[in-house]
Amino acid sequence: MSHTALARRYRPRHFADVATQEHVSETLRRAVSTGRVGHAYLFCGPRGVGKTTLARVLAMALNCPGRSGEGEPCGRCASCERIWSGNTSLDVVEIDAASNRGVDDARDLRERAMYAPSEDGRYKIYIVDEAHMLTREAWNALLKILEEPPTRVIFIFATTEPQKIEQTAAPILSRCQRFDFRRVGVADIAARLREVLEVEGVEAGDDALRVIARKADGGMRDALSITDQVLSMADGGVTREGVARILGMVAEDRYLELLDVLADGNRARLFPFVERLLDEGYDLVEFYHGLMEALRTLLRLSLSDGDVPEIAPEVRSEWDGRAQRFRATDLVRMLALAAELESSGSLRRSAQPRVVLELLLLRLSYLDRTVDLEELIDALGGEGVRTSSPRPSGGSAGAPARPAEPSSSAPSEVVGSEEGSVTSDGEAGSVARGSEPAADHASQRVAEAGSGRTAGKGGGESGAPGGASGPMEAWESLLRHRRNRLPGGLAPFLRAARVRADGEILHLELPPGPGLERLRAPGIRESLAREMEERLGRSVEIQVSEVPGAGEEGGRIGRETVRRDRLQELLDREPDLGPAVEELDLEILD
């Protein structure tokens, strides 16, 4: 006897049987029961979520002689059987737009639609699958009949890519009632699979059904197809181990072993680890997807102590132990780094996927532990640094000492790296450690710098006529309150300039371009100097220069320029880090 696939055998026959799509099935059922059926529908959504199934159920309900008062088809009469099975029916025609996409096919469909249904009281229904494959000319041939179709003729278009229809034939959207189908959740898929397996008389564990449901990626048809594949090789029941073996999934122990390698920093073990994966016949792309899921699971564990359904109860303690070895911030960076490989698609396209995967694992292993910025300041300068007054932005030497105020935002994070590099989670960037032996010397220099800044400062300038305590505050006030008095068209260049104060001299650095040329004109600088004098009560010299290194990049602001600017911005915010950056040779990373 020929075998009928589970996806076909258990296809729903009623609106109520279509899982997760109640917003569509209920609307269609009520439209049938009240006689308010539209003449054209557009069903959008991922594959295997019930678009064609609901189109057939709607056709069954409209032409079923035993239809209930609520609009449900009987599902057992000759008409329902023919439509449900996809066999030939005079009044219900299914068309594959992938192979019938031209204008001649559309004209033929338009001519066939002019014929009345085979019997009174019936509807003529055209179900066009993969509708996004129709050409622009084909859609244009259907525009008129979709706007004013013959009596008792209904068109149903199903597509996985509605954006293509919008780009190719936007007027179609206003002629159809659009329904967006949702992806089917893991719990709904698992519940449906359990119903099917109970009818089939097969035992299955909940963990095995969850694995199948996650592998289906939101598609009920995919889940039933995978179950069919598993049943063909299952011996007495469906187990998690059997499902993983049949689907070629990497064993969970491999990911736990990899997490131990990353936590221990034993990078030499990564190469034999990948080699063993290949020797055991695992697909590296499949392993990569499992790695993403493992990092996500670990992050979820580190952020919450609640139940994580992805983890089997018998291995929960092992995952908890790994989660305690990583900080959530580290896992976020690792997950983001791994996700870049998916977005670029380099693993699938590469002729050497092994090298690409090994490089990814090495990069994950070289991501050192994140450290709060305050921890680094404490380690370098102690309490003297924490209590010293930070200089205003720009490092004005004449600014009065002010107590440090706690920031209302989350603290920036400092990332250590064996290469002395830096990654950034904060707004201005974060710094990384270079070499450990220089830490004591750096802390001494930071402490001396902190104490030197606080000594001999007072509020002597607070009473200046303009109200500004230093050149930097006066400059910020100029940009903030007197933009209308700035020379015409210069405000954007002034706001983007790199500014620093050296006593009574204000240095403006800009990249080559019209802004730099105009600011070098004496009249412009004199105008800015008068504005500054109005705020400070004393004269300030303004010097304009080109951004260092900008000429080497052909007048463009390059990556190195941005890194220097971000580092300078961080030092302006946290002057105590200056000696540490100089001593430990730190730099900003993206």
Which CATH number do you get for residue 531? 3.30.300.180
Residue 70 belongs to some domain of the structure: yes
Residue-wise pLDDT for 436-452, tens only, equals 433 444 444 434 433 33
Could you tell me which residue, 304 or 190, shows the higher pLDDT? 190
Band (pLDDT 50/70/90 cuts) for residue 425 is very low
How far apart, in whole angstroms, are the C-alpha atoms of residue 15 and residue 506? Answer: 74
The residues, ordered by sequence, that sit 6+ positions from 486 with a Cβ below 8 Å of its Cβ are 478, 494, 528, 531
Residue-wise pLDDT for 161-170, tens only, equals 999 999 989 9
Residues 23 and 161 placed together within one structural domain of the fold:
yes
Residue 110 has pLDDT above 70, yes or no: yes
Q: Give me the chain's average pLDDT, please.
A: 78
Q: Is 306 exposed, middle or buried (0-12, 13-18, 19+ CB in 10 A)?
A: exposed
Residues 208 and 267 placed together within one structural domain of the fold:
no
Which CATH number do you get for residue 289? 1.20.272.10
Name the domain boundary from 337, 365, 393: 365
CB 92 within 8 A of CB 122: no
Measured at the CA of 238, the angle between CA 233 and CA 239, to 5 degrees, comes to 110
- Find the domain containing 210 and state its range: 186-246
For residue 537, what pLDDT is reported?
81
Could you tell me which residue, 462 or 578, shows the higher pLDDT? 578
SS3 for 262-316 is HHHCCHHHHHHHHHHHHHCCCCHHHHHHHHHHHHHHHHHHHHCCCCCCCCCHHHH
Residue 445 belongs to some domain of the structure: no
Residue-wise pLDDT for 184-203, tens only, equals 988 899 999 999 999 988 88
Percent of the chain with pLDDT over 90: 29
For residue 467, what pLDDT is reported?
60
Q: What is the pTM of this model?
A: 0.59
The residues, ordered by sequence, that sit 6+ positions from 453 with a Cβ below 8 Å of its Cβ are 388, 389, 391, 401, 575
For residue 355, what pLDDT is reported?
92
Residue 79 belongs to some domain of the structure: yes
Residues 170 and 30 placed together within one structural domain of the fold:
yes
Q: Where are the beta strands (DSSP E) in 368-412?
A: 370-372
- Please give the backbone phi and psi of residue 388, each rounded to the nearest 5 degrees, phi first: -70, 155
Mean pLDDT of 230-251: 81
Mean pLDDT of 254-272: 91
Residues 145 and 12 placed together within one structural domain of the fold:
yes
Residue 389 has pLDDT above 50, yes or no: no
CB 368 within 8 A of CB 430: no
The residues, ordered by sequence, that sit 6+ positions from 240 with a Cβ below 8 Å of its Cβ are 205, 207, 208, 211, 312
Measured at the CA of 566, the angle between CA 564 and CA 567, to 5 degrees, comes to 65
Name the domain boundary from 180, 202, 226: 180
Residue 355 belongs to some domain of the structure: yes
Residue 144 has pLDDT above 60, yes or no: yes
For residue 588, what pLDDT is reported?
64
Residues 220 and 269 placed together within one structural domain of the fold:
no
For residue 503, what pLDDT is reported?
80
Based on the structure, what is the number of domains in the chain?
4
- Please give the backbone phi and psi of residue 414, each rounded to the nearest 5 degrees, phi first: -105, 135
Mean pLDDT of 480-495: 67
For residue 335, what pLDDT is reported?
92
Name the domain boundary from 148, 180, 212: 180
Residue-wise pLDDT for 524-578, tens only, equals 888 888 888 888 888 888 888 887 755 544 445 556 666 777 777 777 777 777 7
Residue 24 has pLDDT above 90, yes or no: yes
SS3 for 150-213 is CCCEEEEEEECCHHHHHHHCHHHHHHCEEEECCCCCHHHHHHHHHHHHHHHCCCECHHHHHHHH
How far apart, in whole angstroms, are the C-alpha atoms of residue 224 and residue 92? Answer: 26
Residues 214 and 98 placed together within one structural domain of the fold:
no
Mean pLDDT of 86-91: 79
- In order of 312, 319, 326, 560, the CA distances from 323 in angstroms are 15, 6, 6, 36
For residue 562, what pLDDT is reported?
65
Please state the length of the chain. 590
Could you tell me which residue, 38 or 583, shows the higher pLDDT? 38
330: amino acid identity, one letter: D
Structure tokens at 34: 């009240």
How far apart, in whole angstroms, are the C-alpha atoms of residue 120 and residue 152? Answer: 10
For residue 430, what pLDDT is reported?
40
Residues 103 and 56 placed together within one structural domain of the fold:
yes
How far apart, in whole angstroms, are the C-alpha atoms of residue 369 and residue 354? Answer: 26
CB 307 within 8 A of CB 320: no
For residue 240, what pLDDT is reported?
82
For residue 381, what pLDDT is reported?
58
Residue 42 has pLDDT above 80, yes or no: yes
For residue 306, what pLDDT is reported?
66
Residue 491 has pLDDT above 60, yes or no: yes
